[in-house]
A and B are shown apart, each in its own frame.
Chain A
Amino acid sequence: MASCHDVQLDSRVDHDPKRILLMGNPNVGKSVFFSQLTGLDVISSNFVGTTVTYTEGTIELNNEKYTLIDVPGTYSLEATSEAEAVAVQFVSSKPRAILCVLDATNLERNIKLGLEIQRYNVPVIYALNMVDVAKRHGLEIDIAQLSRELRAPVVPTIAVKGEGFTDLKAELAKLVSQPSASPRFVGTELDAWRRAKDIARRVRNQASEELSFLDRLGEAMLKPLPGIPIALLVILLSLGAIVGGGKALRALLLLPLVNDVLVPFFKGLFAMFIPEGILLNVLIGEYGIFVIGFEWIIALILPYVFLFYVVFSFLEDSGFLPRLSVLFDGIMRKMGVQGGSMITILLGYGCAVPAIIGSRTATTKKERIMISAAVCFAVPCISQTGALISLFAGFSPILLVLMLLMSFVIMFTVSFILGRVIKGEVDPMVIEVPNLLMPNPKAYAKKLMLRMKGFLVDAEGPMLISIVIAATLKETGLLELIAGYLEPLVSGWLGLPRDAVVALILGVVRREMAVAPLLAIEGLTALQAFVGGTVALLYLPCLSVFGILTKEFSVRFAVAIGLATTTTAFLVAGIINQVAQLLS
C-alpha cells in the first residue's frame, strides 16, 4: 500500500478537473458502459511509468464536456498488482466523480470494491449491471436498500442491451453539477469484505431460477464433456470463418478491385508522366510499389487481419476464452505455462505485437518470457497465415495441416526448454469465469475499430518499407547480386529457387513478406513451397516485433530471439529439404 505514493502521477491526469472515472471489477461490462457513454473520439494510452493501458473518451453532461476514463478493471485497491496501483493513482488524483459498475451476479465481491473506492472522498455513483442475469440466477436485488447501504445513488442497468443508460446519465449529471458529501468508508480490505457480505445479505432476495440457453451453455462448456468438443468446434468454425471468409473476400471483392481498378489506374497514370526506365519499374513494374503495394496489403493481408479480429473480439467479449483457459490449463501446465496464457498465445495468431504486450498479464517474468518466445518462434501471425494459405492453395491442404502440427511441436518444445532453463516459478492459474453472453454491438464495433486502427498504424510503415525495399532490390538488379551470395544457403541447403532470396530479405521486415514473394515464383514444387513456408514460419519475427521486444524486454532479448529463430528456421527447413531429397 506504500506504493500509492511511489508511482509518479501522469501530469495530464493530475490537472484535468473534469475527469470522471469508470471503475469496477474485471468482466463487469465496463467497456460497454464506456462505449455507450462516450463518443467516437477514443484514445488508448499507456499509464506513465507502467505497462498498464487505459482508454479515455468524452462524455457530455449538462451540455458540458467531461473526460471519462476507463480505469483498468481490478478486484481490489490494495496496489498488489500494477493495474491496482494504477487504479489507486487514478482515484487519489481528485477526480470529479466515480462511476463504479457493480456486477449484480457477484454482489459481495463487487460491493467490496465499491466500498474500497469510498476511502478516497470522491462523489460516487453505482451502476448495478446484469440485473437480468442475476434475476435468471434467482437473485432479486433491492436497489433502494442497496443505495441506502452504500449511501450513494444506484442505477440498475443491462449494459449489453443498452438498458438503463438514460437514467444513469441523468444521475451522473446530477452528481457532477451539485456534488453532495461523498460517502466515506474507513477500514481494511477485510473490514470491507465483512461489510460487503453483510450488505449483500440484506439487499438480496432469493427468487426462482430460470436459466436461459446461454446460461446453460456457459455451464456445460465448463465440463470437459461437452466442453472440450464444443471448444474445438468453435475454434474450427472460427478458423473456417477466417480462412473461408478471407478467401471469399479476396476472390470476389479485393482481387478484382486491385487487379482491374487500382493497378491499371496507377499504371496508366505513371506511364503518362514518367519515361520508361528504373524509376517507372520501381513504381509500376512487376514488383512495383504500386503493384505489390496494393496486391499484398489490400488483397493478401487485410481480409484475414480484419476477419481475425472480427472473430477474436467476439470470442473475447462473449466469455468464451476464460472457459478455454480452464479446460486446457492441464495441457498448458505440461508446456510449462498456465491456462490463462492460452488467451495471449491465441491473440498471437492475430499479431505477435499485441500478444507480447498482452503477456504483461502473466504474474511472473519467467512466464512472460516463455509466452513471448513461443509466440515469436512458432505462432504465425494472421497475415502470414493468409499468405501461407495462398501459397499452399495450389498444392494440397495436407501441407497446411502439417505446418500447423509442426508449429505446435515447436511451440511446445521452445516453451518446455525455456521452462527448464529459466530460473523461477510460473504461478498456477487463478481465473474468474464470467457469464457467457452475447456481446453488445456498439462496444464490439468500437473495439474492432480500435484494433483495426492499431493494426493499420503499426503495420502500415513496416509494410510500405518492405514493399519499397522489394521493388528497389528487384527492379535495380541488386537482388541478383545478393542472390548470388546466398545461393549456397537458398538453393543448396534449402533447395529453393534463387528468387526466394527476396522472401528472406523481406521476411525481416514483415512476417507475411517471407511468404508473399514465393507466390510470385512460377513452377514451385510442393516440397519447395513447404520448405519455404517452414522458413517463413520459424524465421525472425518482423520489425515491429523486434521493436516491441526491445521495448518490453531489452535489445539483448530481441537480438537473442532474432538469432535463435533464424537459426531454427534454416536448420529445420534445411533438414526437411535434405531428408525429402534423400527419400525421393
Chain B
Amino acid sequence: MLARKPRPSSQKSFTSLYDAEDGKQYVVTSVPSVGILKSLGIMENTIIHKKMTYRLGGPVLLKVDSSEIAVGKEFAEKIIVRG
C-alpha cells in the first residue's frame, strides 16, 4: 500500500506513539499483538491522527478513521509510528 522510500529520510523518523508529537498524522509501523487494538483498527500501516497526550501518566487520544480511541500510556509506548 505504501511505497517504500529508497533511502530513509530524517523526516520519516520512527517513534513511539506516546512520544510522538500531538496534532499530527502517523502511519503505524508496529503494534503489540493485543486483540482489542486490532479490533479497533490500530494495525500496521493504518493511518492514525494523534490528538493529544494526557499528563501525569494518562493515555493518548487518537482518531482512527472517524472514531476516537484512548490508548493507555504503556500500550502507547509500545506502538511504533512513522511521521
Contacts and interface: CB of A to CB of B under 8 A. Distances in A.
Interface of A: 74-76, 78, 80-81, 105-109, 112, 137, 139, 189-190, 193, 200, 222-224, 322, 325-327, 329-331, 333-334, 338-339, 363, 427-433
A75 B65 CA distance: 14
A295 B18 CA distance: 55
Contact of B54 (A139, A326, A334, A431): A326
B56 A331 contact: yes
Contacts of A108: 41, 65
Interface centre among A105, A137, A189, A330 (most CB of B within 10 A): A330
B2 interface: no
B72 A329 contact: yes
7 contacts: A109-B39, A109-B40, A109-B41, A109-B65, A326-B70, A333-B58, A430-B34
Interface in B41-83: 41, 43, 51-52, 54-59, 61, 64-76
A262 to B, nearest CB: 50
A139 B66 contact: yes
If over half of B's interface residues share one DSSP class (helix, strand or loop), that class is named, otherwise mixed; here it is: mixed
Given A80-B35, A326-B54, A432-B40, A106 B73 contact: no
Contact of A200 (B51, B55, B65): B65
Instruction: Give 4 nearest A-B pairs by CB, closest first.
Output: A428-B72, A75-B39, A330-B58, A80-B35
A432 B61 contact: no
A331 B61 CA distance: 16
Given A139-B66, A193-B41, A326-B70, A430 B75 contact: yes
Given A330-B55, A330-B56, A330-B57, A431 B66 contact: no
A327 to B, nearest CB: 7
A189 B38 contact: yes
B42 to A, nearest CB: 8
A429 B61 contact: no
B61 A222 contact: yes
Nearest to A108: B65
Contacts of A74: 39
Given A78-B35, A326-B61, A330-B58, A339 B72 contact: yes
B41 A431 contact: no
Contacts of A325: 70
A430 B67 contact: no
B57 A334 contact: yes
Given A326-B59, A330-B57, A333-B73, A81 B35 contact: yes
B69 A430 contact: yes
B65 A106 contact: yes
Contacts of B35: 76, 78, 80-81
Given A428-B74, A428-B75, A433 B69 contact: yes
Contact of B73 (A190, A193, A428, A433): A428
Given A190-B43, A339-B58, 17 more contacts: A76-B35, A106-B67, A107-B66, A112-B41, A222-B68, A322-B70, A326-B61, A327-B54, A330-B54, A330-B57, A338-B72, A427-B72, A428-B59, A428-B73, A429-B70, A432-B67, A432-B70
Contacts of B51: 222
B54 A224 contact: yes
A568 to B, nearest CB: 28
A432 B68 CA distance: 6
Interface centre among A137, A223, A433 (most CB of B within 10 A): A433
A74 B43 CA distance: 18
B69 A431 contact: yes
Contact of B52 (A200, A223, A338, A339): A223
Nearest to B69: A432
B3 interface: no
Nearest to A75: B39
Nearest to B59: A329
Interface string B25-44: 00000000011111111010
B69 A329 contact: no
Contacts of B55: 224, 330
A430 B38 contact: no
A105 B61 contact: no
B72 A429 contact: yes
Nearest to A77: B39
A300 B43 CA distance: 52
Contacts of B56: 330-331, 334
Contacts of A339: 58-59, 70, 72
Contacts of B52: 222-223
Contacts of A223: 52
Contacts of B58: 326-327, 329-330, 333, 339
Contact of A329 (B37, B54, B68): B54
Nearest to B72: A428
